[in-house]
Structure 1
Amino acid sequence: MHTIIPTQAPQLSGITGRRVLGAAGLGPATLGWRDGTLAQHAPASGLWLDAGDLLVLPGIVDIHGDAFERAVMPRPGVSFPYAGALLDVDRQLLANGITTEFHGVTLSWEGGLRGEAYALRMFEALAQLRPMLGAEHKVHLRFEAFHLAGVDTALAWIADGRIGLLAINDHLPMMARRMADEGKLRQYAERAECDVETFRRRLRAASANAQEVPEAMARLIAAARAAGLPVASHDDPDVATRQHYHRRGCRIAEFPLTIDAATLARQLGDDIVFGAPNVVRGISHTGAPNATEMVAAGLCTVLASDYCYPAPLQAALRLAQLGVLDLQGAWHLVSRNPARAAGLRDRGTLAAGLRADAILVDDRQPGAPRVCATIVNGELKHAAAMPLLVDLADAGTLAA
């Protein structure tokens, strides 16, 4: 065995460890890969990563994360170039075990950070930076239902293959109820990069579209489904809304606001997404159902980072620590299940034929897991300061 602290990422042939979460559960295992794909039989030679007693887990697949907005606009009205912001976000993702990220990019009548110009900057930055990024970055388009002027734009993005997942949002009624709250209204206006009165005019203009919204959303959803994209409805408030969107082809219930809506989603066989921060904090920041209770009741199939990239790792291990689920079941919520919900059949578990996306986690400190290494498509993309042991022996020696 040799201790190597590489100046550049070594080309690894596999991992060996005593606590590997494979298809059969947690236990000793040696995983080899070729060309980024986990192999049925370990390669006979090459560099190997010895995980020792660290947890070896499938990489996290995050299908809803908008924490990148804080990197782009760290303070209301203060924006930074997307290129530098996304490089920072990429480091955050890798350090928190997220190997596939769906950025929640909003196209809304609000404008500003959630308008078309910022979305285009995201697309341009991703195209420019892709060779430099460690995680796989995709776009989850959050389309605000009352933004009829943006429908053709969204349709063009879908046709161009820029979108990986579509969600239908409708935050207008909630915002309208808050128009008397000057503090909240000022926050909305700053994010939209306009003055308060301009924001009021935008909201009133969007509200006038109410009669045309259902037909426009049916058109958008149909286009997404025809393109093979998964579609979600966001913040379903009741059973009728979930039923409506299910019939339209939205098979993901994203952050349902009531237990009844989540229960119907389960009965319909839809995926149900709750926020991992909800599990970590023990409560929703919006008054939505308690995510830990939803997991325990079988009413949650996916946990997403939402606004906090460290949360999926922390939430899954917390659920296992509390005994709500075993580790394998808890990890499915942040890896296998979101991959399937997003239509990504090539990742989410450590099994032959799938992508070699894996993370090494030091879980000795309860409540504070540390990602020591992140491997994406068979390449070491992140390593913490601790020495990593790379075995130069052949696979037979490792397996012995």
Structure 2
Amino acid sequence: MHTTTSSHQPLAGITGRRVLGTGGIAPATLGIDGSRLAERPSHSGTCIDAGNLLVLPGIVDIHGDAFERAVMPRPGVSFPYASALLDVDRQLLAHGITTEFHGVTLSWEGGLRGEAYALRMFEALSQLQHTLGASHRVHLRFEAYHLSGLETALAWIADGRVGLLAINDHLPTTARRMTDDRKMAQYADRAECDVETFRERLRTASRHAPDVPAAMARLIAAARAAGLPVASHDDPDVVTRQHYHQQGCAIAEFPLTVDAARAARQLGNETVFGAPNVMRGQSHTGAPNATEMVAAGLCTVLASDYYYPAPLQAAFKLVQLGAADLAGAWNLVSRNPARAGGLTDRGVLLPGLRADAILVDDSQPGLPRVCAAIVGGQLRHATMPLSTVEASALAAGGASLAA
């Protein structure tokens, strides 16, 4: 496999027999003008000839926290963010993800999900901004009871460090496990403290309950004022979804019941489910079956959650299962998450939008493979030698992207 994230001469375009446009899959030629798509290639430069490979919009993943395993592969064993993100970047490109919203948690837990680790993420993203191949953004997962972190989160939003805000509340679930020594030990390992210290952090956070609603209203308002999309995480019921909708949270992320998902769609909200749920045929937490939610029209976005290969694999599995056609399934991992994440410049192969595309070999049923990833008009990843053709040979004829 060959992966590259260095700067290259921009491509003039892509041509192929199976290009996913707004009208479905058909032969087409995509021009590339700098970092944007154009109706036709210019008269100079090289175009990739995708042949019979699928040419699809790059995947937009609005919730992925698998980077945590690259940073802390074993409890108590952490590595520098810069080297971890280089590895993650290559994973993303290899699985067709051209835009990633990293789920960075700011929690009362501390450790891997505390402020110090979040700052390391920001610093690494800044350091590597000209090195990474995919487009990397931060999805700030703020734990509602972490009131001592509120001002920090507000400052990060004001500084433009955050691309999406999600309100999380894992405290009740964690509190119910207070007497489970095994679970407490797992939490403490991630938080880089002993079990009794973790229990004390949990007790301290619990005391903030009366002040949580006002604090979250303030945080949500600040995010909306900054133009950020806002989600609520793990809505357990209709009342919770309605509450967050009224505050401006237009995304229901991993609703825990069918009723909550249905309420979200009735309110015009985006509903996010996990792509691993589709791959496995069930949720690992007992939440609704994502495939059933797609078939019922109650899921608008699939996210990698904890497994980067999942969006690509899930989209094709939905087609196999008859839950969606490829165009509809691909909207769940590209167009719709781009829209939910406030990114109007990507997710569809149209002139004027970002030239983010992937070439996929789907010849082996159930095992689609990304052969190349183009991000911002540059080839960033390839697993095989790619056929090319001069743009001048395409300029005179052939269906264009806009056709």
Q: Report if TM-score (shorter chain) is over 0.5.
A: yes
Partner residue of 2:226?
Answer: 227
Partner residue of 1:388?
Answer: 386
Shift in Å at residue 11 of structure 1? 2.7
Shift in Å at residue 325 of structure 1? 0.8
Shift in Å at residue 399 of structure 1? 2.9
Is the 2:57–2:347 Cα contact (8 Å) retained in structure 1?
yes
What is the RMSD of the two structures over their aligned residues, measured on CA atoms?
1.4
Is the 1:30–1:398 Cα contact (8 Å) retained in structure 2?
no
Partner residue of 2:54?
Answer: 55
Shift in Å at residue 396 of structure 1? 3.1
> How many Å separate the matches in 1 of 2:81 and 2:93?
18
Is the 1:339–1:345 Cα contact (8 Å) retained in structure 2?
yes
Aligned residues: 395
Is the 2:8–2:379 Cα contact (8 Å) retained in structure 1?
yes
> How many Å separate the matches in 1 of 2:94 and 2:7?
17
Shift in Å at residue 167 of structure 1? 0.1
Amino acid at match of 1:388: L
> How many Å separate the matches in 2 of 1:215 and 1:396?
59
Partner residue of 1:308?
Answer: 307
Partner residue of 2:138?
Answer: 139
Kindly provide the CA deviation profile for residues 162-213 of structure 1, in whole angstroms up to 9, marking residues without a partner as x.
0000000000000011112111110000000000000000000000000000
Partner residue of 2:178?
Answer: 179
Shift in Å at residue 393 of structure 1? 5.0
Shift in Å at residue 128 of structure 1? 0.2
Structural mapping, 1:232-243, within 5 Å: 232-243=231-242
Give the SS at the match of 1:11: coil
Kindly provide the CA deviation profile for residues 134-154 of structure 1, in whole angstroms up to 9, marking residues without a partner as x.
000000000000000000000
Partner residue of 1:14?
Answer: 13
Kindly provide the CA deviation profile for residues 297-342 of structure 1, in whole angstroms up to 9, marking residues without a partner as x.
0000000000000000000111112221111110000000000011
> How many Å separate the matches in 2 of 1:295 and 1:34?
35
Amino acid at match of 1:213: V
Structural mapping, 1:202-217, within 5 Å: 202-217=201-216
Give the SS at the match of 2:86: helix
Unaligned runs of 5+ in 2: none
Is the 2:171–2:202 Cα contact (8 Å) retained in structure 1?
yes
Partner residue of 1:130?
Answer: 129
Unaligned runs of 5+ in 1: none
Is the 1:16–1:398 Cα contact (8 Å) retained in structure 2?
no
Shift in Å at residue 9 of structure 1? 4.2
> How many Å separate the matches in 2 of 1:332 and 1:321?
16
Is the 1:374–1:383 Cα contact (8 Å) retained in structure 2?
yes
Partner residue of 1:265?
Answer: 264
Give the SS at the match of 1:131: coil
Partner residue of 1:274?
Answer: 273
Partner residue of 1:256?
Answer: 255
Is the 1:165–1:342 Cα contact (8 Å) retained in structure 2?
yes
> How many Å separate the matches in 2 of 1:283 and 1:10?
44
Kindly provide the CA deviation profile for residues 338-369 of structure 1, in whole angstroms up to 9, marking residues without a partner as x.
00011100000000110000000001112211
Shift in Å at residue 45 of structure 1? 2.1
> How many Å separate the matches in 2 of 1:398 and 1:195?
68
Amino acid at match of 1:243: Q
Structure 1 outlier segments of 4+, above 4 Å: 5-10
Structural mapping, 1:1-400, within 5 Å: 9-384=8-383, 386-392=384-390, 394=392, 395-396=394-395, 399=398
Is the 1:90–1:133 Cα contact (8 Å) retained in structure 2?
yes
Give the direction of change, closer, same or farther, for the CA distance of 1:153–1:91 in structure 2 (3 Å limit). same
Shift in Å at residue 132 of structure 1? 0.2
Q: TM-score, normalised by structure 1?
A: 0.97
Amino acid at match of 1:146: Y
Identity of aligned residues (%): 76
Q: TM-score, normalised by structure 2?
A: 0.96
> How many Å separate the matches in 1 of 2:395 and 2:121?
46
